[in-house]
């Protein structure tokens, strides 16, 4: 059916079997309610059979907007009978007779008839959809595809298929899953999507892209958990996705592959969906690889650098991320890009030796946080506070350290004024107060954070317990830890159990601590069996506890009890998991010292220092060992202990050993000051470092 124009008059025509007919006569009969007469007029004027005439008549009603009238016409079509008549016509390979034009061949005539009938069912399905009868519409649409599979049982061929017939098939394939979704039949919708993508419908690339994208959106955001594809649609040797996320990622990566091959047009939303999918499964390195493989020009190079930096940062590859951000923030690129400055500052805030660079990035971010970006000023102040706090840890003098710590607190307090409801900021302020031994302020902030999160975050409980332990309120800290264990799922209890074991040690209950460590060990080994080594490693990175930490903790505990044989067994178990570790070498040195083997202890600590030059416990132990070697080694001991205090000025053991050194040299006043400092720090010393909190 076509529309034609003649001067100012426009009219529509029917075309079939080499004949044409103006629709005005048929429309007049329809307006009078004479459907049978309209049908007869079509059959006589265009030499059509019953189904074809009904199909054209229904199409006319649909185009006129009379959906209910179109349905009444379409209901009279016997699809099965029409398909049975059409099927032999396609299966027979009738030769084209001389003198017959190509458009008049039997195949052409059969395809035209099929197009009319199938289009009628498609329009009937659309009519039912408009009337809200989604299940009936989906069933009718499914009948179209079943019919096409009967006609073309080897799949729709690439050639010799009428364009109109192919167009109807494509529309029906795309419509069916949408109808099932609207009907709330999600299993049928998934089957329809897979049928559309796996069967041979001869769809064009754009249609395939639309179906793939629609399926991906459904898989990622519908909340409906799908079952894996059935064995019937699996190809030997191919990867079979196990869940929604894997299937969505597979479809998106296939889209990107086809785009790179020039088969599909670029759609930026595809990369957005892939970013979401890979981010929630910690696959940002895979995302980075996909970005790097895109054709040049798809993204501006600076945008690409920034996105890659986010990917590498999410994967823990901070060095690569920071190098990309440095390129992006070069004076000839985008030196004042606020998000890049904030990300660079965040990465630098995790390393004391990059903190000074992070301070520069954060200060530039504050300067650029104006106008539409003014809401990010609080974030910039927060990054500045974190970077200043880290920079203070490597300050060259006590005065410089104190100055940086004060500025860090000022920045975080200023950030809190701008973002009073930011729970992460409240937590970081609490940690800063705790590290500076301002325990009352730390406890207030920790309680504020706990109330903000409703006790749903594990680190809120841990922070409270650590602050209470620093106040020497061990029984209260244990109550908090037990309450946290009751609120936490089994697989997330690792850090809390480790904390509980150390609390028992602080309360002189070593056997209870050993029992807790044994339970923790069983938990971690059960995790390994349940999730596999790859997932347990990611869990370790988040929770900061693993099998190595447990064996090492047990070794330290047995060493403190002078159970040397048990301590050696635990050390050996830990060494099997991590051969080179300064912490292990330190514990080995403690064992040797406890048994009077000072030279062997010194060798172990020297090896540890060579492996990790700033490992404070080894510097303290080495300083104590050099004191035992005689007066000529006291200068070395003093240097080691002073260096330990430079790195960690709140370490009470370093102050205590420095006091012993001064006493040995006869400087009683200096020794008294050191012992007093050690005593004061002991009163505010937590059972775990506050920096162990995530």
CATH of the domain at 38: 1.25.40.10
Say if 3 falls within a structural domain.
Answer: no
At residue 113, does pLDDT exceed 90?
A: no
How far apart, in Å, are the Cα atoms of 530 and each of 491, 534, 535, 541? 10, 11, 9, 17
Is 404 in contact with 388 (CB distance < 8 Å)? yes
**What span, in angstroms and rounded, lies between the C-alpha atoms of 694 and 189?**
42
- What pLDDT, in 10s, does the model give residues 161-177? 677 888 888 999 999 99
- What pLDDT, in 10s, does the model give residues 44-54? 666 566 777 77
- What pLDDT, in 10s, does the model give residues 358-399? 999 999 999 999 989 999 999 999 999 999 999 998 888 888
- What pLDDT, in 10s, does the model give residues 612-638? 998 999 999 999 999 988 888 899 999
What percent of the chain shows pLDDT beyond 90? 57
So what's the pLDDT on residue 537?
39
Going by pLDDT thresholds of 50, 70 and 90, the confidence category of residue 597 is very high
β-sheet bridge partners, residue 14: 21
Task: Count the residues in the chain.
Answer: 694
Sign of torsion, CA 397 399 402 406?
negative
So what's the pLDDT on residue 284?
92
Average pLDDT (119-132) is 90
Say if 497 falls within a structural domain.
Answer: no
**Token pair recorded at residue 257:** 């592959």
Collapsing DSSP states into helix, strand and coil, what is residue 584?
helix
Say if 53 falls within a structural domain.
Answer: yes
Say if 116 falls within a structural domain.
Answer: yes
- What pLDDT, in 10s, does the model give residues 219-256? 999 988 888 776 555 555 567 888 899 999 999 999 99
- What pLDDT, in 10s, does the model give residues 415-436? 999 999 999 999 999 999 998 8
Tokens 């104006």, residue? 370
At residue 91, does pLDDT exceed 90?
A: no
Going by pLDDT thresholds of 50, 70 and 90, the confidence category of residue 191 is very high
At residue 106, does pLDDT exceed 60?
A: no
So what's the pLDDT on residue 70?
83
Is 567 in contact with 555 (CB distance < 8 Å)? yes
Higher pLDDT, residue 526 or 331: 331
Phi, psi of 683 (to 5 degrees): -70, -15
So what's the pLDDT on residue 114?
72
So what's the pLDDT on residue 43?
64
Is 568 in contact with 591 (CB distance < 8 Å)? yes
So what's the pLDDT on residue 24?
65
So what's the pLDDT on residue 7?
35
So what's the pLDDT on residue 172?
93
Say if 70 falls within a structural domain.
Answer: yes
So what's the pLDDT on residue 319?
95
Per-residue buried b or exposed e for 625-645, using 16+ beta carbons within 10 Å of the residue's own CB: bbbeeeeeebeebbebbebbb
Say if 45 falls within a structural domain.
Answer: yes
Average pLDDT (6-17) is 50
98: left (phi over 0), alpha (psi -120 to 50) or beta: beta
653-662 CB contacts, 8 Å cutoff, 24+ apart:
653/617, 653/620, 653/678, 654/616, 654/619, 654/620, 654/623, 655/681, 657/620, 657/623, 657/624, 657/627, 658/623, 660/624, 660/627, 661/623, 661/627, 661/634, 661/637
Q: What's the Rg (C-alpha) of the chain?
A: 38
At residue 501, does pLDDT exceed 70?
A: yes
Average pLDDT (684-688) is 91
| Average pLDDT value for the chain | 85
Our CA angle for 679, 684, 688, nearest 5°, is 115
**Token pair recorded at residue 575:** 């060494």
Say if 198 falls within a structural domain.
Answer: yes
So what's the pLDDT on residue 71?
86
Average pLDDT (65-81) is 78
Phi, psi of 466 (to 5 degrees): -65, -40
Burial (Cβ within 10 Å: 0-12, 13-18, ≥19) of residue 267: middle
Average pLDDT (95-107) is 43
* Least confident piece of the model among 42-51, 124-133, 321-330, 400-409: 42-51
Is 1 in contact with 12 (CB distance < 8 Å)? yes
Our CA angle for 53, 57, 61, nearest 5°, is 170
So what's the pLDDT on residue 21?
62
Say if 144 falls within a structural domain.
Answer: yes
**What span, in angstroms and rounded, lies between the C-alpha atoms of 288 and 236?**
30
Domain of residue 167 covers 13-86+109-203
So what's the pLDDT on residue 32?
59
SS3 for 427-449 is HHHHHHHHHCCCHHHHHHHHHHH
34: left (phi over 0), alpha (psi -120 to 50) or beta: beta
Count structural domains, the chain. 1
Element (H, E) at 19: strand 19-22
* Least confident piece of the model among 27-41, 48-62, 266-280: 27-41
Q: Where are the alpha helices (DSSP H) in 629-667?
A: 634-647, 652-665
- What pLDDT, in 10s, does the model give residues 438-486? 999 999 999 999 999 988 888 999 999 999 999 999 999 999 999 999 9
So what's the pLDDT on residue 118?
84
In terms of Cα–Cα distance, which of 179, 182, 178, 242 is closest to 215?
Answer: 178
**What span, in angstroms and rounded, lies between the C-alpha atoms of 326 and 340?**
9
Is 342 in contact with 383 (CB distance < 8 Å)? yes
Average pLDDT (633-656) is 92
- What pLDDT, in 10s, does the model give residues 662-683? 999 999 999 999 999 999 998 8
Higher pLDDT, residue 208 or 147: 208
Average pLDDT (175-191) is 94
């Amino acid at each position: 059916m076509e529309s034609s124009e003649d001067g100012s008059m426009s009219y529509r025509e029917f075309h079939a079997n080499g004949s044409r007919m103006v629709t005005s006569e048929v429309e007049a009969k329809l307006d009078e309610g004479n459907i049978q007469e309209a049908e007869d007029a079509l059959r006589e004027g265009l030499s059509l059979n019953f189904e074809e005439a009904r199909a054209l008549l229904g199409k006319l009603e649909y185009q006129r907007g009379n959906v209910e009238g179109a349905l009444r016409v379409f209901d009279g079509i016997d699809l099965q009978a029409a398909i049975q008549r059409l099927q032999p016509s396609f299966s027979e390979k009738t030769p084209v007779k001389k003198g017959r034009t190509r458009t008049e061949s039997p195949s052409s005539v059969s395809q035209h008839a099929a197009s009319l009938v199938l289009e009628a069912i498609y329009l009937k399905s659309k009519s039912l959809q408009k009337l809200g009868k989604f299940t009936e519409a989906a069933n009718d649409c499914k009948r179209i595809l079943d019919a096409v599979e009967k006609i073309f049982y080897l799949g729709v061929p690439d050639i010799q298929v009428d364009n109109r017939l192919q167009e109807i098939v494509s529309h029906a394939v795309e419509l069916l899953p949408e109808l099932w979704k609207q009907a709330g039949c999600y299993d049928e919708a998934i089957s329809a999507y897979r049928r559309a993508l796996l069967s041979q419908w001869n769809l064009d690339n754009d249609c395939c892209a639309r179906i793939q994208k629609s399926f991906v959106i459904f898989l990622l955001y519908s909340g409906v958990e799908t079952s894996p594809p059935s064995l019937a649609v699996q190809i030997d040797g191919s990867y079979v996705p196990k869940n929604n996320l894997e299937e969505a990622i597979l479809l998106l990566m296939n889209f990107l592959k086809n785009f790179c091959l020039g088969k599909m047009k670029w759609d930026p939303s595809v990369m957005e969906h892939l970013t979401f999918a890979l981010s929630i499964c910690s696959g940002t390195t895979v995302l980075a690889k996909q970005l790097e493989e895109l054709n040049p020009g798809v993204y501006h190079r600076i945008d690409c650098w920034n996105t890659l930096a986010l990917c590498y940062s999410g994967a823990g590859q901070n060095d690569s991320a920071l190098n990309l951000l440095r390129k992006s923030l070069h004076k000839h690129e985008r030196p004042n890009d606020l998000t890049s400055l904030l990300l660079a500052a965040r990465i630098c805030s995790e390393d004391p030796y990059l903190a000074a660079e992070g301070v520069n990035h954060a200060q530039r971010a504050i300067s650029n946080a104006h106008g539409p970006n003014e809401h990010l000023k609080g974030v910039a102040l927060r990054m500045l506070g974190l970077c200043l706090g880290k920079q203070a840890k490597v300050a060259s003098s006590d005065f410089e350290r104190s100055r940086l710590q004060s500025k860090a607190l000022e920045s975080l307090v200023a950030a809190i004024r701008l973002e009073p409801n930011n729970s992460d900021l409240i937590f970081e302020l609490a940690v800063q107060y705790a590290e500076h031994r301002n325990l009352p302020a730390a406890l207030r902030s920790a309680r504020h954070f706990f109330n903000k999160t409703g006790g749903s975050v594990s680190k809120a409980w841990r922070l409270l317990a650590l602050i209470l332990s620093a106040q020497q309120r061990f029984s209260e800290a244990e109550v908090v830890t037990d309450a946290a264990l009751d609120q936490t799922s089994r697989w997330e209890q690792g850090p809390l159990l480790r904390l509980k074991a150390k609390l028992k040690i602080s309360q002189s209950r070593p056997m209870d601590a050993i029992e807790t460590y044994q339970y923790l060990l069983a938990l971690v080994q059960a995790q390994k069996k349940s999730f596999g080594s790859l997932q347990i490693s990611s869990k370790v990175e988040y929770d900061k506890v693993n099998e190595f930490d447990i064996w090492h903790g047990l070794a330290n505990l047995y060493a403190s009890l002078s159970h040397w044989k048990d301590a050696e067994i635990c050390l050996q178990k830990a060494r099997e998991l991590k051969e080179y570790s300064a912490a292990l070498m330190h514990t080995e040195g403690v064992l040797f010292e406890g048994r009077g083997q000072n030279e062997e202890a010194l060798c172990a600590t020297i090896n540890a220092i060579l492996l990790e030059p700033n490992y404070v416990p080894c510097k303290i132990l080495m300083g104590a060992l050099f004191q035992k070697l005689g007066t000529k080694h006291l200068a070395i001991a003093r240097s080691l202990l002073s260096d330990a205090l430079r790195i960690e000025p709140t370490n009470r053991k370093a102050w205590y050993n420095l006091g012993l050194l001064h006493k040995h040299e006869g400087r009683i006043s200096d020794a008294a000051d050191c012992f007093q400092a050690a005593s004061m720090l002991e009163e505010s010393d937590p059972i775990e470092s506050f920096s162990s909190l995530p």
